[in-house]
Structure 1
Amino acid sequence: MRYIKWIGALVVIFILGSALVFFGNFYAKNSSNVTSTKSNKTTVSNKVTTKKGVTLTGTASSDQYKSVIKDGNYLVGKARGITASMNDNQFNTESFENGLLTISKAHFSPKSYVFQEGQLLTASTATKWLARQSNTNTEGLNPEDNGKTDDGRNPIYLQTIEEQDFMTQDGDNLKLSGIVLGIAMNTVDTYQKEQYGANFTQKIDAATRIAKGKEMAAEIIKRYRKMSGVSKDTPIVIAAYAQSPDDSLTGGSFYSWAESKSGETLSGWTDLKYANIVLPMQDNTTDVKSVATNLNKDFVNFQNTIQGFFPNLSYVTAQAQYDGQNLMGLHVDITTQFYSQTEINSFANYLAQTAPNFLPTNVPVQIRISTVSGIQALLVQKANSKTYEVINLSSY
């Protein structure tokens, strides 16, 4: 059964807040032409307007991509939000998209490439690919339904596909010069034995998930090579992501990637050691406890400090993203009982002054302040900075 899962209000508002930073100077400067280079890569000025109504956004820093605006509209991903089945863990969406962008930066530098949301994989094609294979859908990547309703059933392995396109200048136009694909693989498949019935879960062991991911990735590369606009030499990077179950307090993580430099051949898979850790850590967080012990102590002190200052907080939690032993970023969620805009403003400004004393300053940090009405404010700290930018969403 196929569903189209659009991102919930919480994620939409978060993306809006992030976009304010990402597109920070889009309207701040005048447009100028693309700067040509002799190499096959492109160095792009802060603002670019090409013929045919294509515009590039500016960026707030050199580690962010310029993005494509066409005829005054941002080019959204054609297949974004389409999933094989329902998944109620909102953290998966954020971890998947943010993690894929991190992988993209390692292969296609923001200094040389322009980012474009996926334009090759359409919504209708994605829906077919993510569905089960059947007599009426030979394009389905997930296995056919064998009719069983116990652990002997064929689960849904592939949950979603995310495409990111990377462009360089070709005369007065932008040329597709690289593609990054993310495939989200289920660790647990949630299903119903009968329509509108109770939900059941089927665990998928790691070895099977990894094997199926490699098998599906190879087939996806073959299909992309046949798409219009993709040459036999367009580099395609594909990364596999392990989805967290619906009841997890954290999102999943990418665990491997491979590249197709030419034709349908995929290079050997490279393992990744990404992990997401929920703070404050529970006593049973044994596998990664030593990695985040100091961060957890600092976060608990931060938590106690702000709860002492504003006692009406419902909860304060965080997600820390690690690459092996290295902290990559921190996302903090704070839920309050405040409703007035002045209280939100005061609390946000207090956090901007207090957070650098407790939270890491060498990695990006985002703090979201929410009430029952949704996200009210977003605080963003860039890597190697002790200053937070406060975005008050309650006034929008």
Structure 2
Amino acid sequence: MRKNKWIAGIVSLSVLLSACSATQNQTESVASQDYEPVLPYDDSDSRIKHAGVISDTKTQVQIESGLADLSKDHFSPVDYKYKSQEFLDYDELDATDGSRGLLGTLRDKNPNGLNPASDEEFDTGNGKVTNATVLADIYELDFYKNKSLKGISLALVVNSEVGDNNTKIKKQKMYDYVEVTANKLVNYMHDRFNEVTSDIPIYVAAYEINSDSSSDSLGGYIYSGYFDGNSSKYKKINDEWIRVPSTTLQSMDETTYDRFTTFHDDVYDVLDDTSYVIGEAEYVDGSLSKMNITVTTHGRTAGEIQGVISTAKESMSVFKDTKCEYTVSIVNDDTTYCILKREKSSKNVSSVSIL
């Protein structure tokens, strides 16, 4: 797979951590299990489009891992393995100049474009906007059983603001757009690809990116639809990623904010001013679901890095909420040396280090 060294390291460590967790807890619930890939695993050139749309790797991971989590309600990890972007490759998505591809605008020469026509007045609920690019990207997971395609999940990555004046799209208007677009995309999948027969169920979820880069809210999943045969069912999703630390986190969940501050201070005692501890927290229906923390250092020796790892592992006990999954990455000079992970419903911390 042609990914950079940092991502490859994260994936490898994550796989090892999953293996460790499975060994420690054989009665782990389906909801907390991870999908296994269909091997040999083939990459897709769609990653070029993903990177061009969203440069932040963490957000890319949140979109795809979040789609996988949501998909578990329809495609159990016990029964299915996955491939990614098996059908929607770069050419299918391409919207370099807006004239072609699913991400392009609707026009005579691009009847499958999922963005409004450039001269169409898109109703945001806060006013009508022309040349509105609502849909930014599409992620795809394909689920297989015994090497046969049995289901597909798609993530519609949508912008929270559109137009030259960055007009905010009200929630109901976004729901309306997602319903129409999801239905059109599902029909396209069935019509375009022979393998995606009419009996293949398709799950579509919309991930809204917060267009305000200064906001403490990073975005999250807001709406979904499940299409099975001639039936479809839509559902609102209350999912949001928050910067850690931030004033927003402090106001919405002071307990978690205080616990992170304690963790930060414990780890910072062995660091210096060139190091920092930051993260992101995911809230689902108002409750903390995941927290990812990155401890970044510079110019550290192996012994010093080990000291940071040991301190961070011990300090993770400050997080008392066992309904949340915690992951701590220890990075030195752009290389990830260790990942610490504590699964939901557990107080045990798994660790994988390359020291």
Structure 2: distance between partners of 1:178 and 1:147 = 34
Matching residue within 209, 218, 243 for 1:243: 209
Which structure 1 residue ranges, 4+ long, deviate > 6 Å from structure 2?
Answer: none
Partner of 1:129, secondary structure, is coil
Partner of 2:275, secondary structure, is strand
Corresponding residue of 1:164: 141
Distance 1:15 1:261, change over 3 A: farther
How far does residue 359 in structure 1 lie from its aligned partner after superposition? 5.7
Structure 2: distance between partners of 1:373 and 1:261 = 44
Conserved in 1, the CA contact under 8 Å of 2:155 and 2:205?
A: yes
Conserved in 2, the CA contact under 8 Å of 1:134 and 1:144?
A: yes
Gap regions ≥5 residues in structure 1: 1-6, 29-45, 47-59, 192-199
How far does residue 348 in structure 1 lie from its aligned partner after superposition? 1.2
Partner of 1:184, secondary structure, is strand
How far does residue 108 in structure 1 lie from its aligned partner after superposition? 1.0
Corresponding residue of 2:268: 307
Is residue 20 of structure 1 aligned with residue 13 of structure 2? yes
Distance 1:115 1:293, change over 3 A: same
Is residue 262 of structure 1 aligned with residue 229 of structure 2? yes
Conserved in 2, the CA contact under 8 Å of 1:317 and 1:332?
A: yes
Which is helix-richer, 1 or 2?
Answer: 2
Corresponding residue of 1:42: none
Corresponding residue of 1:141: 114
Corresponding residue of 1:68: 38
Partner of 1:130, secondary structure, is coil
Structure 1: distance between partners of 2:119 and 2:50 = 21
Q: Percent of aligned pairs with the same residue?
A: 20
Measured against aligned partners, the alpha-carbon deviations of 1:7-65 in whole angstroms (never above 9, x if no partner) come to 996xx725632443326699x9xxxxxxxxxxxxxxxxx9xxxxxxxxxxxxx996122
Supply the AA of the counterpart residue of 1:217: A
Distance 1:221 1:25, change over 3 A: closer
Measured against aligned partners, the alpha-carbon deviations of 1:322-353 in whole angstroms (never above 9, x if no partner) come to 21133211101222234323322221122112
Conserved in 1, the CA contact under 8 Å of 2:103 and 2:115?
A: yes
Q: CA RMSD in A?
A: 3.3
Conserved in 1, the CA contact under 8 Å of 2:10 and 2:336?
A: no
Conserved in 2, the CA contact under 8 Å of 1:155 and 1:202?
A: no
Is residue 117 of structure 1 aligned with residue 119 of structure 2? no
Distance 1:285 1:68, change over 3 A: closer
How far does residue 302 in structure 1 lie from its aligned partner after superposition? 1.3
Structure 2: distance between partners of 1:8 and 1:257 = 30
Distance 1:320 1:138, change over 3 A: same
How far does residue 388 in structure 1 lie from its aligned partner after superposition? 2.9
Corresponding residue of 1:319: 280
Supply the AA of the counterpart residue of 1:317: I
Conserved in 2, the CA contact under 8 Å of 1:91 and 1:250?
A: no
When normalised by structure 1's length, the TM-score is 0.74
Higher alpha-carbon deviation: 224-233 or 357-366: 357-366
Gap regions ≥5 residues in structure 2: 95-100, 122-126
Distance 1:301 1:129, change over 3 A: same
Supply the AA of the counterpart residue of 2:256: L
Supply the AA of the counterpart residue of 2:130: R
How far does residue 245 in structure 1 lie from its aligned partner after superposition? 2.2
Is residue 233 of structure 1 aligned with residue 192 of structure 2? no
Distance 1:76 1:362, change over 3 A: same
Corresponding residue of 1:36: none
Distance 1:143 1:285, change over 3 A: same
Distance 1:241 1:85, change over 3 A: same
Is residue 356 of structure 1 aligned with residue 317 of structure 2? yes
Conserved in 2, the CA contact under 8 Å of 1:118 and 1:165?
A: yes
When normalised by structure 2's length, the TM-score is 0.81
Partner of 2:229, secondary structure, is coil
Matching residue within 104, 126, 131 for 2:104: 131
Is residue 207 of structure 1 aligned with residue 207 of structure 2? no
Distance 1:389 1:300, change over 3 A: same
Partner of 1:106, secondary structure, is coil
Conserved in 2, the CA contact under 8 Å of 1:330 and 1:364?
A: yes
Structure 1: distance between partners of 2:8 and 2:236 = 29
